[in-house]
Amino acid sequence: MNLTSNQDHSGVGRRCLITVVCAFIAIHLLLAVLDFYHPAGFLRADRAVMRMSEITRVLGGEYWPFVKAFLGSHGVIGDYGAHAILYAIAGRPGVILCQLALLLASGFAVFRLAGLLGMSPKLQAISMGLYLALPHSLVFAHQLATEALHVPMLVISTWLICESIRKNDIWLAVISALSLGLATLIRPITLLWPIVVAGVAILLRRRRLGVTFVAVSYVPVLLWMSFIWQETGSFGLGESNHSLSRNLYLRVASIALTMPKAEAADVERQYLNRGEFGRMGAIEYAEFALHYPLPFMAEALRDAAIFLGKSGVERLTVDYFASDAQFLALTNTESGWRQHLDTADLMTNLRYSWSELGAILFISLAGSVLILAMNVLASCGAVSLVRGMNDQPDTATRNFTAILLIILPIYIFLFSLVVVTLQSRQRAPAEFALVLLAVYGAQKLPSFRGILKRFSPVRPGSVSPTR
C-alpha cells in the first residue's frame, strides 16, 4: 500500500514538475521576443547603466595594476564582477541564459522546500510556479540585475542547508554556505544571515552543521575584505557611491525632506553637512533614529507598506513598455513616485502615477491586491507552521525549514531599512519564503482544499515522500 502510494506521488510530482518547466520555457521565450524588440529593458534594472560602465572598464583594463586599483575602489566585487565574467564569455545572451538557468534551479529548490514542509506534489508545483511567476522572478532574469544572481543563490542555499539537516550531511552544508557567501558578495544584505541560520541549527541540536555553515559562509567575504584591506588599509567590503555608509547618509537626507522646516534644518546641520558625497556610520544613523523617532518610524511604516503591498508588476509594465521619459520620471530618486509618496498624501501620489502611466496604473493596483492577499496567506501559513511544531526527531527538518522561512522575510525587511528608499525589489530575496508560507496557509482553507481534491488524482490523506 505504501509503495503504491509513493509511486503515485512520484508520478504526480514528475508530471507537475514537467508542466511548470514547460510553462517556464514558454513564458521566457515570449519575454525573449520582448527583449529583442525592447533591448533597453536589459539596462532598466537598478544601477544597471552604472554596472555596465563598470563592466566595460574592468574588461577594458589592459594591465593588472589598473584592474586591481579599480576593484579596490568600486565597492563589493559581486555588484559587477560576476556579470563581467559572464559578459566577457558570452555577452548579453549569455548573461540572460545563465540567469534563467539559475532561476529555474532555484524554482526546483522551492519545489523541494515545499516537500520538506510536507506539502503534496501538486502544492509543491504550485509553490514553484507561483515563485517563478512573480514579476521580479520573471523580469530580473532578463536584466543586468544583481538580484538575478543573488536571489536564486539564496534560495538554493536555503534548500541545501535544509537538506543537510534532513540527511545530516556536512558537505551539503558546506556547499550551501559557499553559495550564500558568494551571494553575499553580490548583495551584502545577507551578511548576517549565516549567523541566523547557524543559530537555528544549534537550537535544533545540529551544532556541528551550524558551526560549519557559519564558518564556511564567511570565507568568500573575508577573502574579499582582506583584498580591500591590502588595497586601501580599511577592513571592509569597499566604499562606493552605493555603499552602506552612503545609503545611510542618503536615507537620512530623504527622511529630512518629510520633516518640518525647523527640524529639517537641524538635521542638515547635525548630520548632512558633509558635501555632495557624504557618508554616515551605523552608530550615527542609530543616533539620528533615537533623536528623531517619529520621522524615522513614519518612513519605516511607508517602507513596510511598500514591502507588503507593492507587487513589482511595474517590472513588466514600466521596464518593458514605458517610454524613456516615463521610465526616468517614475524612477527618479528626487522626483519619482517614491518621493511623492514620502512628501505628499496617497491621492497626490496616485494622481502623479496616473499622469505618468494612465490605465497601466490599474494593473499596479490589481497587483497590490494580489500581493497583499499572498502576504496575508503567508502570515496564516506561518502561524499554522508554528502551531504544528514539536520536538520529535522526525520533525527536525520540517521545523528547521519552517523557522528559516518565517524569519527570512523579517530579516530582509529590517536590513532593507538601511537603503535610501525601500522599493518592492528589496523584497525579492524573501519572496520565495513568502510564497511557500502562503501556499501552506492556503491549503488550510476549505475552498482551496476542495479545488485541489477536484483536480488531484492523489487520494486524500496520502503523504508526500519528501516529508
Give domain limits for the chain: 2-238+362-455
In terms of phi and psi (left: phi > 0; alpha: psi -120 to 50; beta: otherwise), the region of 47 is left
Q: Span 120-148, mean pLDDT?
A: 96
If pLDDT is split at 50, 70 and 90, which confidence band does 3 have?
very low
pLDDT at site 325: 76
3-state helix, strand, coil in the chain (%, to 5): 75, 0, 25
Is the pLDDT confidence value at 333 over 70?
no
pLDDT at site 225: 92
If pLDDT is split at 50, 70 and 90, which confidence band does 453 have?
low
Residues 6+ apart with CB under 8 A from 457: 8, 12
Scan for cell 544613523, then name that residue: 285
The fraction of the chain above a pLDDT of 90, given in percent, is 58
Is the pLDDT confidence value at 220 over 50?
yes
pLDDT at site 334: 65
Query: Hey, what amino acid is at 458?
Result: V
If pLDDT is split at 50, 70 and 90, which confidence band does 6 have?
low
Tens of pLDDT, residue by residue over 310-328, are: 999 999 988 888 877 777 7
Is the pLDDT confidence value at 385 over 90?
yes
Q: What's the whole-number average pLDDT of the chain?
A: 87
Is the pLDDT confidence value at 5 over 50?
no
Nearest to 401 by CA among 183, 230, 155: 155
Q: Span 27-36, mean pLDDT?
A: 94
Q: Span 350-366, mean pLDDT?
A: 83
Whole-number Å distance between alpha carbons of 321 and 336: 18
In terms of phi and psi (left: phi > 0; alpha: psi -120 to 50; beta: otherwise), the region of 275 is left
Is the pLDDT confidence value at 257 over 90?
no
Query: Hey, what amino acid is at 397?
Result: T
Tens of pLDDT, residue by residue over 61-95, are: 667 777 787 888 788 899 999 999 999 999 999 99
Is the pLDDT confidence value at 1 over 50?
no
pLDDT at site 444: 81
pLDDT at site 466: 43
Q: How far is it between the farthest Cα atoms of the chain?
A: 76
Sign of CA dihedral 296, 302, 305, 307: negative
Asked if 402 contacts 454 with a C-beta cutoff of 8 angstroms, the reply is no
Q: Span 397-408, mean pLDDT?
A: 97
